[in-house]
Structure 1
Amino acid sequence: MKDIFDECEFGNLKLKSRIVRTGLWESQKEMGNLSPEIFLRYERLAQNHVGLITTELISIYPHDRFSDYSHSINSTAFIKEFNYLTGIVHQYDVPILAQLGFVNCNVNGRHNISVNDLTIEDIRQIQSDYIVAAKKASLAGFDGIQINMGNNYFFAKVIDPSENKRKDDYGGDTFKRAKMILELIKVLKDNGDLHISCRINANGEETLKIAELLEKVGADSIQITKPSSPQYFTKDSENKNILFDIADEIASKVNIPVILGGGLSDMASINELINSTNIDFVSMQRPFVYNPTFLSEWADGREVESLCRTCNNCYWKKTSTCHIVHDEE
């Protein structure tokens, strides 16, 4: 029987639990650099039973929609500061991935380029920028990267048939729409040993096709999330998270780890899920904002459910702090 706190393999990584902390924003920056509060936050995550940490968003391009609230891969102190952060996490034998993404495409001197207006030169520039970003992540001590191609990030638009109307080799069927990303992953896997995780939207059978293509070119894991905000997980008439079925189907068809992207916050539901489906891993974000140490309380039997109220203030205010906790203090 599987349990939340099983030690298990996650591709080429070893995890001490089945819970993945997924990131969103980082609020305690000091003039664009990491602050002591950020280092403390990651240490508390690593020493309290989390299996895998995915960082808050690291933006590929400056002047992106969320660049004021996220880290930048182009920061002059990126490698030095994040090398210190990953060193803290690794002291507790917890792997950590750098989440890379962008919303606004600003390349080759142009701004806010749409998917359909990308030139081949633009596509090659984006791929090159990701390769450079992955190299920086490797030098900073990360175990891998997560390519954010979900929610409303640019890569989600690239693979979305309602957005991508291109008539060349990078538009049309599922393979062609995903080709830009598939080429990128193949180059990364052929030239390095970073774990490559892909965050993708749940869009029915299209999602399964994309997952199978990602596995074929070498992706090491997949996280299933929602097309819109990652904060809301609508339930159907059977009171079931809408991501359950598609994540379960994908997990049954691919031979790489599949992460359910949120929606559960109590031990009983998670243990039932991992024992009744093909899903082995569950990610969370808001419960860790409320209390970075709650998994230790679960492991010790002091609590069985996160006390996070899912009010979403940490999301709407673009911070990584809980306003309820601060108000109560």
Structure 2
Amino acid sequence: MKNSKLLSSFQSESLQLQNHVVMAPMTRSRAIGNIPNNIMAEYYGLRANAGLIITEATSPSKNGLGYPNIPAVYSDEQIEGWKKTTEAVHKKGGKIFLQIMHTGRISHELNLPEGGEVLAPSAIQAAGEMFTMEGVKAHTTPREMTLQDIKQAQEEYVQAAKNAIVAGFDGVEIHAANGYLANQFLNKGSNQRKDEYGGSVENRSRFVLELATQISNVIGNDKTGIRISPFGEFNDMALYDEIPATFDYLIQELNTLDLAYLHLAALSQNIPDGYLEGLAAKFNGNIIFNGGFGYDLPRAEKTVSENDRYLVSIGVPFIANPDLIARIEQGAKFNQPDQNTFYTPGEEGYLTYPTLAKAN
């Protein structure tokens, strides 16, 4: 791709990146014992040519570890484990943000370490099932969070952000999408509280806005991004009439924080045409669009060419193509991913995809 805006450097007050391509956050379930390890460092290091890497979802606490073998960032051992990854990426000139995710009700008690508890805005069991080491089981019905639980969870997020900076990350992304805890507060189906964190648009947005404020105050607004998924139904998120009003209000308030970026995930067929673009226009800062760009490069090129503050994030193609940027640049064929190894422990389907250099 000659004269490509997609592959050109991205420069803003908060982000200085080698290109406009962001590696999207993708759970890979390689963190045995919830501790980042050597193969994870190699995996991310191989992809350091992305303009920005956003890591897989990482828990701020024992309560947020809803899936087996996902990483966390609340213990000294986890921080030391993540240092291997940030060093590997920085050694190759890359930038990397840590995505902080608390699973909330998308969890099973069998997946939590000792002392962990399944918590959510309301005591409403999520539909569907999830994998545990004892087989597939229905989600555990969560305990409704008290005001003290909410405060504690926010403190855990903030400490996780501080720990991420200690581990060498360039910043963090608050995961307020895909049906996890922060998204559960926003959504009327999962949040049926009667206090200041439920009911109205303003109240349902409170948890997320307080998180963004607290984290940006501690580590810097230029090191804080956020991901949202309007109209997303993943993980039993309900569709409701106030979705546009909710996200309009959220954007309005986020604009006061001058965050590094807003990451918009297109996770639903129900998103009205042009809605995400309209939402992006209301946000004052950098925008990362997500949704099918890896397999539609002309669309990716068109998107980043429309506005100097637009980036695109690519997911699955990065799994099978550690040298994805080089393949885009050279117009080379992509390796095809093996979905059977997306979440299996070990190197197979993780470090075994060939680069162009090895293929030749």
The TM-score with structure 1 as length reference comes to 0.82
Structure 2 match to 1:151: 178
Deviations 1:110-130 (A, max 9, x none): 832331332111111011111
- For residue 286 of structure 2, the aligned residue among 239, 254, 257 is 257
Alignment-derived partner of residue 46 in structure 2: 44
Match among 257, 270, 289 for residue 300 of structure 2: 270
Report the CA distance between 1:164 and its aligned residue.
Answer: 1.6
Aligned residue among 191, 208, 211 for 2:248 = 208
Q: 2:95 aligns to what?
A: 95
| 1:58 match | 58
Alignment partner of 1:288 is 2:318: yes
Q: How many residues align?
A: 309
Cα distance, 1:278 vs structure 2:
7.9
What's the counterpart of residue 227 of structure 2?
199
Q: Distance in 1 between matches of 2:27 and 2:152?
A: 26
Q: 1:110 to 1:121 in 2, by over 3 A?
A: farther
Alpha-carbon contact 2:54-2:97 (below 8 Å) kept: yes
User: Would the alpha carbon gap of residues 11 and 177 (structure 1) be closer, same or farther in structure 2, given more than 3 Å must change?
Assistant: farther
Instruction: Please state whether the residue corresponding to 1:90 is helix, strand or coil.
Output: helix
Give the match's secondary structure for 1:77: helix
Bigger CA drift: 276-285 or 216-225? 276-285
With 20-29 and 128-137 compared, the bigger mean Cα shift is at: 20-29
Structure 2 Cα separation of the partners of residues 51 and 271 of structure 1: 14
User: Any idea what SS the aligned residue of 1:39 has?
Assistant: helix
**2:118 is matched by which residue type in structure 1?**
N
Percent identity of equivalent pairs: 22
Equivalent residue, structure 1, for 2:214: 187
SS in 2 for 1:88: helix
Contact 2:57 2:70 in 1 (8 A): yes
Conserved? CA contact 1:248–1:278, under 8 Å: no
Which structure 1 residue ranges, 4+ long, deviate > 4 Å from structure 2? 276-279, 314-321
Q: Tell me if structure 2 keeps the 8 A contact 1:27–1:319.
A: no
Deviation at 1:65, TM superposition (A): 5.6
1:217–1:314 Cα change, 3 Å: farther
The one-letter code matched in structure 2 to 1:213 is E
1:59-78 to 2 correspondences below 5 Å: 59-62=59-62, 64=64, 66-78=66-78
Change (3 A) 1:268 1:306: farther
State the match for 1:298 in structure 2: 328
Which is worse superposed, 31-40 or 163-172? 31-40
Aligned in 2, Cα 1:191/1:312: closer, same or farther, shift over 3 Å?
Answer: same
Deviation, structure 1 residue 189: 2.2
C-alpha contact (below 8 Å) 1:29/1:35 kept by paired residues: yes
Equivalent position of 2:27 in the other structure: 25
Matches of 2:293 and 2:341, distance apart in 1: 18
Query: Equivalences for 1:132-143 in 2 at 5 Å?
Result: 132-143=159-170
Structure 1 unmatched ranges of 5 or more: 228-232, 237-241
- Offset at 1:195? 1.3
Unaligned 5+ runs, structure 2: 106-111, 123-143, 232-242, 354-358
C-alpha separation in 1, matches of 2:25 and 2:224: 16
Whether the aligned pair in 2 keeps the contact of 1:260 and 1:283 (CA below 8 Å) is yes
Shift of 1:64: 4.5
Give the alignment's Cα RMSD to 1 decimal. 3.1
Corresponding residue number in structure 2 for 1:239: none
Please tell me whether the aligned partners of residues 243 and 260 of structure 1 are also in contact (alpha carbons under 8 angstroms).
Answer: no
CA distances 1:154-188 after superposition (whole Å, capped 9, x unpaired): 11110112222222221222221111221222222
